[in-house]
Structure 1
Amino acid sequence: MSKAITSVLVANRGEIALRIFRTAETMGLNTVAVHSDADARAPFVRKADMAISIGPAEAAKSYLDIEKVITAARTSGADAIHPGYGFLSENTDLAAACEKANLRFIGPPASAIAAMGSKSAAKALMDKANVPLVPGYHGEDQDLAVFVKEAERIGFPLLIKASAGGGGKGMRIVRNAGELRHQLEAAQREAGSSFGDPTLLLERYLETPRHVEVQVLFDQHGTGVYLFDRDCSVQRRHQKIIEEAPAPGIPDDVRRSMGEAAVRCGEAIGYVGAGTVEFLYEPESHEFFFMEMNTRLQVEHPVTEMVTGLDLVEWQIRVANGEALPWNQDDLRCQGHAMEARVYAEDPDNGFLPQTGRLHTLHEPVESNTVRVDSGVCQGLEITPWYDPMLAKVIAFGDDRNAARINLIEALNRYHTDGVVLNTDYVSRVLRHDAFGRAELTTRFVEVHEKALLDPPFSSWFRKRLSLVAWMDSVGGFAHADNRDVWATLRNFRVDDSHWQPFELDLDADRYHGHYQVTEVALDHGRLTLCMDDEESTVRWDRMTDGALEVRLSGRRIRLDSAARGDELAVFADAATWKARINHPEVAQGAVADETELTAPMHGRVTALLCKPGEPVHAGQALLTMEAMKMEHTLKAGFDGTVEAVHCQTGSNVEAAQVLITLAQPED
């Protein structure tokens, strides 16, 4: 046996690089990162034992440059390269270059990658291996007359696919013979332009299939097992949104047949390491058909790890070291249920456009026995347009499917950013949809339920009221759990009297006015009443253990948090996020008739002193102005009397509830 791996270079970036480093460190291996100029400050670069710059932001000149990757491995002393997924992960040239450079490639041999590189050739191999195929034509003869004849045999609707394609490129649905020729010509042009190969194949088009895949693992000694299945049906533009394991609602005998077919697929191409065989599954007939094999680690591999208890990256490295798999198929068990949500920097309400910007605030769920976060970002990181917009993955586990679904919803409620729009709210809408809860899954799920999924979870009515509550909490209007002096933070927010505080709210380019009154407050709960839009509402809240509020409003319970930046507030309500600006108009903030101490309503700066010790004053007279949260506040006397003492000066920075002026009442 050759020498065991001691140092791993990851030819990738972001969350997958961090995920591989985590396992490599646990195994006692040294880690090497390669990075572009755009990623110089990224978390995966800091995590590695050694980091090497391999070029500019453009992937073709950095992450896709095989020579630079091999040179970095030699320079660092790494003896193995892990490609992650994407970039060079299914590139035969990288696998061959590693072999030539005497570096271990943590993946399948180049021959296995090549066998699955062409969809047509792969389907021919699968046919020989007795792996079920969708009826179709995968021949080399690309004459239009041949396609027309084969289409008649297959029947309509049918699907045109690019043999070398992926991501939906070169794909066309044809529903009748009249449009076949036009669609074939268009698909050939797109395939040639996108992949440099115009070769096409035809398949029967399945109207409502599910996308089910099987995880396989092979050692170098000819032994292979399947690590059960995953459902990846919920997709947008052929890109997966939510993945789960095991795939729900599949009969045991069909599940076993699918797993065995996946193993035959790997055996047919001499596969080594971790791979995924993807099938189309028809729920009504329980038929399944080979679609393709991904000769790499999948983005969704964590759900399989959660239900099997195995670390797939660890076993990729062990297999690369020549270790034999220690189990038979019957030794393996699938327990519980797991779901994964991909967190993308994209705006679902604006055509899912990729988003860029700085992560001024980043709140991620705390990991536990039921929640895992594979993240590639950190607070303050700049999200650039150079790479895939996936920032992280949130994975949840439960004893059953519904428990996993609820845990994932709650985890996404705790994933928030300010500065970059995310898709987390949209994913949460999918998870909450009744059809998803009933596991009514198809690859057309998003298309079928498009209108409902684009409905925002909070109406303008809710958002206005939640914005005020979030602002009150942000500026210290409510006591936090670590503050024992509850009343000290509420000197400006009078409890149980008729004093209403006015406020202005800027939301969605509109300005609203209203009044509020804090009517109850304690260390861990409270209540306020607000009047807006000629309607009075009561809001109750409880402080959660992590500092957020659980708000009860109009029959709903909502997790509420916020982040202030300048005069703008990012409001986080469950998985939704929006921006608001709120302030107090210039109003009297002085004493009531029997109050002798005037205090700062919140943290701020004194901008003007309008009185001095010994000076007589009258009720309503302005005594001091201060600025807080970009707002001007005026403190006024509540009775006729005398200024006894002034405890600040112009320009002073003051704390919330700090005494600023003391008044003396007349002796009579």
Structure 2
Amino acid sequence: MHIDLLSSSSSKPHFDKILIANRGEIACRVIRTAKKLGIKTVAVYSEVDANSLHVQQADEAYCIGPAPSSESYLRMDKIIEVCHRSGAQAVHPGYGFLSENAKFSEQLAEEGIVFIGPPSSAIVSMGSKSESKNIMSAAGVPCVPGYHGTNQDPQYLFEEAQRIGFPVLIKAIHGGGGKGMRTVHAAEEFQEALESAKRESLKSFGDDNVLVEKYIVRPRHVEVQVFADTLGGVVSLWERDCSVQRRNQKIIEEAPAPGLTSELRADLSAKAVAAAKAVNYVGAGTVEFIFDNDTQDFFFMEMNTRLQVEHPVTEMVTGLDLVEWQLEVAAGNPLPLSQSAIPLVGHAFEARIYAENPRNNFLPDSGPLLYLSTPTPTHVFAPTLLPLAGSSASSDASAPLVPSRSTSSVMAPSLRLEQGFTQGSQIGVFYDPMIAKLVVHGRDRKEALRMLRRGLEEYKVVGVSTNVEFLRSLAGNDAFIAGDVETGFIPKHFDELFPPISDPSPEILAQAALFVALREHSSQTSSPSSPWTTLHARRFGGDEYERIITLQKDDSSAEPITVHVKSAQQPGHFNVDVQSGASRTSFTSVPASLVSPTTFNSTLNSASSETTIVSQPPPPAVPASLQTNTMERLHIFSGGQKTTLVLPSPKWLLSLGGDVLNAAKGALRAPMPSLVVEVRVKVGDKVEKGQPVVVLESMKTETVLRSDVSGIVKAVGCKNGEMVEEGRELVDIEDNDS
């Protein structure tokens, strides 16, 4: 449920058909609102996205090129051609890709197609971080001290950094998402960071110009959602806190920002409205501020001239459909509500579910979603927060920046899921690794956090590494619960967020072994319920009804664990003996059954449970020498925790080759499927420990591989521009100490 827009006989009609120039969850999100309004939708897709969810949900879909975005989603000519072929009257760009491309907006206008976004002049002004800061300063919006000029000489930029004082932040003047951004703590790190930022900026945005500004040591990232119409009306839809980040990218957002006074909220909103007016803004935009935790001062950072990834949290606390607002404004209608009528009720969180490995520096992962089970949504958009308004909205600039808090009913906690992929989908290396967004709303921050933790406990993924476990740890962290957030939150609380992985409990080991034993037997019998209910009449492995299951932690150095499973006197019951090192635990007469291929019921220590256990077989084409990848993995989801165990490979298979993932010191391997951006060494070169050797790119993220030894380059197994698979040896360095 959401707040409906005001209807008026004088309102201009909506478009009949729109094209969505995007993919994934945001494309699905726009399609949902369009269908609600009776607007037909046109999807575009690359060759690898042919079976994607947004393609299935749209009324029409057109292929526009190969997988690389430069050959598909960034091809303005192909998108405009599809507009003409399909009869689409307008284009919704989503976020990323062409959403902040002024040239695209201008070309659409030349072709008589409406761009559902701001005018190109606003995109140009606010898309340049340097120009935007000059505009903001003139409009009375405070800015961070720094150099925002056009001189891009590396030595000059270095001198400016010294003048500002380290630490400094190097930022691409165009784009967002943390691309082309580097924090520099010391003078000797500056040149390498500058080169990397410029290279990444050029690839991402086609422009390598950067600015340098003071890095605030304990900053928060607070942003204000603004909306403007073509008639001069501008309103604030209040603020969000997006402070907790990794690699300068957001992973969890909330609204409203914790700990702000009403006076500070009003000041932030007023400055954001002034920023939008300064560039004659139209549509949805976000004015981002750096908030200094130490001084309580805030500074303009940048403006995103599009709908944000985190817009659902604003929808949840206002009860508004922001995509619907975009379509209203693009059709030429006034803002649906005045400033004084915009509510702010309760608290909302959004957690981004990424295919990545948080314990490996959040490196992105790729592969199929072999298994996906999500919490059940209770709302598609947001809870109803206000009675329907009875008069047309005004955009009176004098309207107070005080949220409306009247509600039509008592709210219940709610959960919303935004996703663009389903079970069986492929998470590739060409695009952002975000799988979905989990959004929750509660009457206060404490209740919303409780909803978030519960939703994350119910989120189960197998096939790619994800950040779900990390998000659960974050949502349960004492400092986060207290609202004591900052952009350096993760490194500051690293040990608490990444505790040592505990050994699996005897109960988990027993469940895993029973699952394997039952599964093996289920393939030999047609019994639809408990496969071993007739075990007393069968013999397996000799005179005793017994299975010996060897398990191992998902760690090549872990010791194997032996679990004996025997039939008990009562059919469907088993005696289980777990032997892990010197520890031994026995369970007698355990009832157990397979409800489905992934659902397992058992009662251990008088506690009954329904456990999800998913088997992940090794990839069929993996060489036998990749020892850790030839093991079958068991993913056990129990009590909100995920435990991964492996069934060790047979000895004859391991004898075919060595474990390349535990290769000799000095061998650098691709940590993920990647594009080789730059090879910085050649055979015979001398390298020092820590020296950059290879630069990789995966899912729009650049990774620098550094030598872990000092020595001589013996071999180079890759070249610039080449796609390499995970585990490929890229450079072999002979250690001087060898």
Residue 33 of structure 2 is aligned to residue 23 of structure 1:
yes
Q: CA deviation at 1:316?
A: 0.4
Q: Is the 8 A contact 1:165 1:191 kept in 2?
A: no
Residue 607 of structure 2 is aligned to residue 562 of structure 1:
no
In the alignment, the residues of structure 1 paired with residue 37 and residue 615 of structure 2 have an alpha-carbon distance, to the nearest angstrom, of 42
Look up the match of 1:455.
Answer: 499
Shift in CA distance, 335/181, structure 1 to aligned 2, threshold 3 Å = closer
Look up the match of 2:68.
Answer: 58
Shift in CA distance, 305/554, structure 1 to aligned 2, threshold 3 Å = farther
Q: CA deviation at 1:262?
A: 0.7
In the alignment, the residues of structure 1 paired with residue 416 and residue 272 of structure 2 have an alpha-carbon distance, to the nearest angstrom, of 28
Look up the match of 2:318.
Answer: 308
Structure 2 residue aligned with 1:265, among 275, 280, 283?
Answer: 275
Q: CA deviation at 1:436?
A: 1.4
AA aligned opposite 1:415:
Y
Residue 570 of structure 2 is aligned to residue 511 of structure 1:
no
Structure 2 residue aligned with 1:532, among 579, 588, 611?
Answer: 579
In the alignment, the residues of structure 1 paired with residue 158 and residue 68 of structure 2 have an alpha-carbon distance, to the nearest angstrom, of 42
Q: Is the 8 A contact 1:470 1:571 kept in 2?
A: no
Residue 346 of structure 2 is aligned to residue 336 of structure 1:
yes
Q: Is the 8 A contact 2:182 2:197 kept in 1?
A: no
Computing the radius of gyration over CA atoms, which structure comes out larger, 1 or 2? 1
Look up the match of 1:379.
Answer: 423
Structure 1 residue aligned with 2:356, among 335, 346, 350?
Answer: 346
Shift in CA distance, 312/75, structure 1 to aligned 2, threshold 3 Å = same
Look up the match of 1:437.
Answer: 481
SS of 1:578's partner is strand
Q: Is the 8 A contact 1:236 1:446 kept in 2?
A: yes
Look up the match of 1:201.
Answer: 211
Equivalences, count: 569
Look up the match of 1:241.
Answer: 251
Q: CA deviation at 1:390?
A: 0.9
Q: CA deviation at 1:8?
A: 1.1
SS of 2:560's partner is strand
Look up the match of 1:388.
Answer: 432
In the alignment, the residues of structure 2 paired with residue 434 and residue 5 of structure 1 have an alpha-carbon distance, to the nearest angstrom, of 48
In the alignment, the residues of structure 1 paired with residue 610 and residue 516 of structure 2 have an alpha-carbon distance, to the nearest angstrom, of 14
Look up the match of 1:446.
Answer: 490
In the alignment, the residues of structure 2 paired with residue 561 and residue 457 of structure 1 have an alpha-carbon distance, to the nearest angstrom, of 20
In the alignment, the residues of structure 2 paired with residue 62 and residue 196 of structure 1 have an alpha-carbon distance, to the nearest angstrom, of 16
Residue 109 of structure 2 is aligned to residue 109 of structure 1:
no
Q: CA deviation at 1:95?
A: 0.8
Q: CA deviation at 1:219?
A: 1.1
Look up the match of 1:13.
Answer: 23
Q: Output one character per residue of 1:313-340: Cα deviation in whole Å (capped at 9) or x when no partner.
A: 0110011111111322121111111111
Look up the match of 1:423.
Answer: 467
In the alignment, the residues of structure 1 paired with residue 128 and residue 256 of structure 2 have an alpha-carbon distance, to the nearest angstrom, of 28
Q: Is the 8 A contact 1:541 1:549 kept in 2?
A: no
Segments of structure 1 that go 5 or more residues without pairing to the other structure are: 478-482, 584-668
SS of 2:22's partner is coil
Structure 2 residue aligned with 1:215, among 225, 235, 239?
Answer: 225
Q: CA deviation at 1:365?
A: 1.4
SS of 1:116's partner is helix
Q: Output one character per residue of 1:409-467: Cα deviation in whole Å (capped at 9) or x when no partner.
A: 22122222232222211222211222212222110111222233233564234653453
Alignment of 1:634-645 (within 5 A): none
In the alignment, the residues of structure 2 paired with residue 334 and residue 250 of structure 1 have an alpha-carbon distance, to the nearest angstrom, of 14
Deviates more, 1:453-462 or 1:12-21: 453-462
Shift in CA distance, 89/179, structure 1 to aligned 2, threshold 3 Å = same
In the alignment, the residues of structure 2 paired with residue 71 and residue 109 of structure 1 have an alpha-carbon distance, to the nearest angstrom, of 21
Q: Is the 8 A contact 1:430 1:436 kept in 2?
A: yes
Structure 2 residue aligned with 1:571, among 632, 636, 641?
Answer: 636
Deviates more, 1:503-512 or 1:283-292: 503-512
SS of 1:274's partner is strand
Q: Output one character per residue of 1:582-624: Cα deviation in whole Å (capped at 9) or x when no partner.
A: 99xxxxxxxxxxxxxxxxxxxxxxxxxxxxxxxxxxxxxxxxx
Q: Is the 8 A contact 2:351 2:471 kept in 1?
A: yes
Q: Is the 8 A contact 2:18 2:40 kept in 1?
A: yes
In the alignment, the residues of structure 1 paired with residue 22 and residue 296 of structure 2 have an alpha-carbon distance, to the nearest angstrom, of 38
Q: CA deviation at 1:143?
A: 6.2
Q: Is the 8 A contact 2:148 2:211 kept in 1?
A: yes
Look up the match of 1:633.
Answer: none
SS of 1:44's partner is helix
Q: How large is the RMSD of aligned CA atoms in angstroms?
A: 3.8
Shift in CA distance, 58/305, structure 1 to aligned 2, threshold 3 Å = same
In the alignment, the residues of structure 1 paired with residue 212 and residue 107 of structure 2 have an alpha-carbon distance, to the nearest angstrom, of 34
In the alignment, the residues of structure 2 paired with residue 351 and residue 89 of structure 1 have an alpha-carbon distance, to the nearest angstrom, of 29
Q: Is the 8 A contact 2:198 2:210 kept in 1?
A: no
Residue 84 of structure 2 is aligned to residue 37 of structure 1:
no
Shift in CA distance, 522/169, structure 1 to aligned 2, threshold 3 Å = same
Q: CA deviation at 1:255?
A: 1.2
AA aligned opposite 1:398:
G
Kindly, what percent of the aligned residue pairs are identical?
41
Q: Is the 8 A contact 2:19 2:91 kept in 1?
A: yes
Structure 2 residue aligned with 1:401, among 441, 445, 455?
Answer: 445
SS of 2:259's partner is coil
In the alignment, the residues of structure 2 paired with residue 90 and residue 75 of structure 1 have an alpha-carbon distance, to the nearest angstrom, of 24
Residue 286 of structure 2 is aligned to residue 276 of structure 1:
yes
Q: CA deviation at 1:505?
A: 3.2
Q: CA deviation at 1:210?
A: 0.6
Q: Output one character per residue of 1:282-315: Cα deviation in whole Å (capped at 9) or x when no partner.
A: 2232211110010001111111111110001011
Shift in CA distance, 186/563, structure 1 to aligned 2, threshold 3 Å = closer
Segments of structure 2 that go 5 or more residues without pairing to the other structure are: 1-10, 380-413, 538-543, 618-631, 650-738
Look up the match of 1:285.
Answer: 295
Look up the match of 1:70.
Answer: 80
Q: Is the 8 A contact 2:22 2:93 kept in 1?
A: yes
Q: Is the 8 A contact 2:449 2:475 kept in 1?
A: yes
Q: Is the 8 A contact 2:518 2:532 kept in 1?
A: no
Alignment of 1:153-164 (within 5 A): 154-164=164-174
Q: Is the 8 A contact 1:218 1:224 kept in 2?
A: yes
Residue 99 of structure 2 is aligned to residue 89 of structure 1:
yes
In the alignment, the residues of structure 1 paired with residue 302 and residue 241 of structure 2 have an alpha-carbon distance, to the nearest angstrom, of 15
Q: CA deviation at 1:251?
A: 1.4
Q: CA deviation at 1:147?
A: 5.4
Q: Is the 8 A contact 2:418 2:438 kept in 1?
A: yes
Q: CA deviation at 1:159?
A: 2.9
Q: TM-score, normalised by structure 2?
A: 0.69
Q: CA deviation at 1:33?
A: 0.5
